[in-house]
């Protein structure tokens, strides 16, 4: 097996284990908040929302910062920093006695972790440019796999061991992931071919990267509109179901599994095809399916539509990441992926707030409609935005500094 493939698979395995560890905590966070103090449901909901928001907001600030440092000091050490910080913070969460202490640790978690962005940069530095789509598509599946099985396993273990012990186990998983990277991944040395390649590399401009970041933000924002209302919508269309949490979890799991296949398929195409064409096809399809979800009247119908949405939308972020990699010098991978990670976190943080507000003003179904419309519009903007950025790049090429 080629050396870059061996390292890619180890990084993928480590990041999958790490993300599963982080997702362990999600299903019972409101219950842990109540155990720490606020017994009132409204107060518990308020604190839970705050705890879930501060992490992505801190990543908006920290991802570019750590990205720049990774270009200067190395990519492997940044993955180790993120994973071992996660280990420490998660273990400490099992010892907190107040919700305020938990909030402080969540802030620290948001600032010091960010394992996925760090792992993407390390993986991209290992992968040959022509294999970018395959490698980064594979890396994206770690999020979907973790989001599928992490909450389920975390919920089961919290019922067996209690909420505190589950945080401890989460930390152990993230620590194991850090050890895998530390002992089995080597950071590549820049050879003469790469140095010569970077000296003559002019593909990619600030304008084209800006286009990709705009699409990334809009998609992340729109796709998370429905996250605060999906479980409530399942309850609305299945009011007499006994195991409503299991049904909602199954729908999320099915969508996550479908996204894995979408990410792998699109990743294989991304480095071979024009990203404008791929995004212009995938985004509208995902948007139309999202809109159709509001017509679901049974949990089975909703699951079918969410599977289709996962298949069509699962490849969007890998496609964006692939072309960020293709348009970026290896010496600036950390900076550009750090900015992309911050933009992605901003969209993921803003989207649920907008979706929740839409649902409270209009209806649960309206969140699906608004989400789908924004995804479709983002797809329609792709050819227009890229044409404009290419025109600007040609007109101002002498004035634009290389990335």
Structural domains of the chain in order of their starting residue, each with its CATH number: 1-185 (1.20.1250.20), 202-396 (1.20.1250.20)
| CA–CA distance, 355 with 368 (Å, rounded to integer) | 9
| CA–CA distance, 324 with 329 (Å, rounded to integer) | 10
**Could you give the dihedral angle defined by the CA atoms of residues 30, 31, 36 and 38, in that order, rounded to the nearest 10 degrees?**
60
Q: What is the mean pLDDT of residues 279-286?
A: 93
| CA–CA distance, 94 with 105 (Å, rounded to integer) | 11
CA 239 to chain centre: 31
| CA–CA distance, 125 with 129 (Å, rounded to integer) | 9
Residue 113 has pLDDT above 50, yes or no: yes
Residue 157 has pLDDT above 80, yes or no: yes
Percent of the chain at pLDDT exceeding 90? 52
- For the whole model, what pTM was predicted? 0.85
Is residue 341 within 8 A of residue 114, CB to CB? The reply is: yes
Two tokens at 303?
């699951």
The pair phi, psi for residue 65, each rounded to 5°, is: -60, -50
**Residue whose entry in the numeric block shows the structure tokens 């789908």:** 372
pLDDT digits (tens, 9 = 90+) for 43-63: 777 787 788 888 888 999 999
Residue 401 has pLDDT above 50, yes or no: no
Is residue 96 within 8 A of residue 158, CB to CB? The reply is: no
pLDDT digits (tens, 9 = 90+) for 165-185: 989 999 999 999 999 999 999
Instruction: Tell me the CA distances in angstroms from 255 to 69, 155, 245, 294, one per residue in order.
Output: 35, 19, 15, 16
Residue 341: name the closest of 116, 13, 86 by CA.
116
DSSP-assigned letters across all residues of 295-351:
G--SHHHHHHHHHHHHHHHTTHHHHHHHHHHHTS-GGGHHHHHHHHHHHHHHHHHHH
Residue 69 has pLDDT above 90, yes or no: yes
Range from 149-153, 220-224, 303-307 carrying the lowest mean pLDDT: 149-153
């Amino acid at each position: 097996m080629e050396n870059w493939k061996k390292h890619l698979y180890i990084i993928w395995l480590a990041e999958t284990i790490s993300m599963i560890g982080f997702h362990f905590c999600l299903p019972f966070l409101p219950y842990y908040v109540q155990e720490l103090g606020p017994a009132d449901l409204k107060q518990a909901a308020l604190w839970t929302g705050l705890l879930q928001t501060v992490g992505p907001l801190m990543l908006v600030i920290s991802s570019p910062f750590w990205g720049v440092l990774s270009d200067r000091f190395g990519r492997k050490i940044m993955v180790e920093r993120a994973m071992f910080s996660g280990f420490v913070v998660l273990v400490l969460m099992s010892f907190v006695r107040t919700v305020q202490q938990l909030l402080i640790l969540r802030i620290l978690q948001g600032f010091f972790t960010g394992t996925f962005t760090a792992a993407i940069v390390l993986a991209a530095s290992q992968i040959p440019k022509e294999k970018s789509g395959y490698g980064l598509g594979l890396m994206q599946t770690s999020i979907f796999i973790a989001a599928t099985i992490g909450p389920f396993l975390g919920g089961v273990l919290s019922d067996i061991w209690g909420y505190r012990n589950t945080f401890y186990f989460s930390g152990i998983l993230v620590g194991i992931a850090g050890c895998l990277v530390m002992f089995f991944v080597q950071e590549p040395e820049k050879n003469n071919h790469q140095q010569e390649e970077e000296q003559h590399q002019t593909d990619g401009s600030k304008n084209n990267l800006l286009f990709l970041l705009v699409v990334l933000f809009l998609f992340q924002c729109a796709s998370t509109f429905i996250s605060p209302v999906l479980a409530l919508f399942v309850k609305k269309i299945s009011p007499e179901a006994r195991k409503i949490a299991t049904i909602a979890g199954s729908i999320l799991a099915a969508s996550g599994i479908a996204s894995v296949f979408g990410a792998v398929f699109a990743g294989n195409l991304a480095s071979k095809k024009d990203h404008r064409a791929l995004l212009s096809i995938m985004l509208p399809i995902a948007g139309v399916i999202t809109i159709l979800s509001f017509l679901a009247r049974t949990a089975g119908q909703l699951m079918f539509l969410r599977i289709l949405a996962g298949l069509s939308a699962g490849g969007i972020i890998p496609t964006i990441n692939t072309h960020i990699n293709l348009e970026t010098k290896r010496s600036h991978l950390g900076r550009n992926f750090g900015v992309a990670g911050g933009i992605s976190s901003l969209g993921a943080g803003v989207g649920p707030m907008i979706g929740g507000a839409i649902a409270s003003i209009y209806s649960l179904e309206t969140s699906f409609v608004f989400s789908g419309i924004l995804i479709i519009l983002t797809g329609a903007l792709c050819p227009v935005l890229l044409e404009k950025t290419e025109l600007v790049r040609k007109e101002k090429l002498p004035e634009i500094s290389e990335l």
